[in-house]
């Protein structure tokens, strides 16, 4: 009986030892494979995704054999099937440990009230039109630089926070037209609702009610006199 129990315990220990060995091996494998991706930039992740696509048109900006851009013929533009990463906005907002998010935050550059750069990607905020940087508005018969004020307000919204952008389109200047968020705050909406941008009705009706709110409460540029940024650009070309 003693010999039987000894043999039984020996076999049990041997079984657990083998399983522990394979479990440790699995953990080591996972550690090294996951860390192989750590530190990759968004550009590297996008390039890897594009390289995996078997055709010639993974992204709207990819070039076909005839020298033209793929545009809406790309896999990115078609629902279902392959879903390649084409823009940095495809990565922003995903809880992906492979992406060095602190690098993205440190590389946010605010150009004006409706344009930001994240890393090397240019974003034009969808559905809004902010005063231009050199545009002058008026409050109580005094001039002030409303373009700078608009940019400063956008800067206060973002601060050092993480920005997530959802692409809507790509404009003729190759900027990603996007709706951007800080947490649950819609940056586009806040700019219009606080009077530091107008609803760009030529392209969207998304923020018309927010513009009405700013106008009725005399917020931002609505506190004084101004001309529409679109008209200002035409007069100052």
Residue ranges in the chain whose pLDDT is less than 70: 1-40, 79-81, 88-106
The verdict on 120 and 223 lying in the same domain is yes
> In terms of Cα–Cα distance, which of 97, 103, 215 is closest to 162?
103
The dihedral sign for the CA sequence 47, 106, 181, 171: negative
The verdict on 25 and 111 lying in the same domain is no
The verdict on 111 and 140 lying in the same domain is yes
The verdict on 5 and 48 lying in the same domain is no
Instruction: For tokens 């078609």, name the residue.
Output: 78
The verdict on 69 and 158 lying in the same domain is no
The verdict on 134 and 54 lying in the same domain is no
Q: What are phi and psi of 86, to 5 degrees?
A: -120, -30
- For the segment 46-80, what is each residue's pLDDT rounded down to a tens digit? 888 888 888 888 888 888 878 788 887 888 777 65
Give the Cα separation of 11 and 4 in Å (integer).
Answer: 11
The verdict on 92 and 203 lying in the same domain is yes
Residues annotated as catalytic (active site), given as ranges: 124, 132, 175
Q: Which domain holds residue 175?
A: 87-235
The verdict on 141 and 224 lying in the same domain is yes
Element (H, E) at 168: strand 163-170
The verdict on 48 and 21 lying in the same domain is no
pLDDT of residue 13: 55
CATH number for the domain spanning 224: value is 2.40.50.90
pLDDT of residue 54: 82
The verdict on 69 and 160 lying in the same domain is no
Look at the chain and report how many structural domains it folds into. Answer: 3
pLDDT of residue 75: 83
The verdict on 126 and 143 lying in the same domain is yes
Rg (C-alpha) for the chain, rounded Å, is 26
The verdict on 58 and 112 lying in the same domain is no
């Amino acid at each position: 009986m003693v010999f039987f129990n000894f043999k039984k315990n020996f076999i049990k220990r041997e079984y657990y030892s083998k399983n522990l060995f394979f479990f440790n091996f699995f953990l080591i494998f996972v550690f090294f494979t996951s860390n192989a991706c750590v530190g990759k930039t968004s550009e590297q992740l996008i390039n890897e995704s594009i390289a995996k696509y078997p055709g010639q048109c993974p992204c709207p900006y990819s070039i076909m054999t005839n020298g033209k851009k793929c545009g809406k013929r790309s896999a990115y533009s078609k629902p279902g099937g392959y879903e390649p990463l084409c823009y940095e906005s495809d990565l922003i907002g995903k809880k992906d440990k492979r992406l060095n998010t602190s690098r993205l935050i440190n590389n946010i550059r605010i150009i004006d009230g409706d344009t930001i750069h994240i890393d090397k990607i240019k974003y034009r905020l969808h559905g809004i039109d902010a005063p231009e940087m050199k545009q002058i508005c008026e409050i109580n018969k005094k001039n002030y630089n409303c373009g700078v004020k608009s940019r400063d307000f956008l800067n206060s919204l973002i601060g050092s926070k993480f920005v997530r952008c959802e692409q809507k389109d790509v404009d003729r200047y190759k900027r990603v037209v996007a709706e951007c968020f800080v947490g649950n705050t819609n940056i586009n909406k806040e700019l219009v609702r606080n009077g530091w941008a107008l609803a760009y009705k030529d392209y969207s009706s998304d923020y018309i009610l927010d513009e009405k709110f700013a106008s009725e409460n005399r917020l931002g540029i609505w506190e004084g006199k101004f001309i529409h940024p679109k008209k200002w650009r035409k007069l100052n070309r």
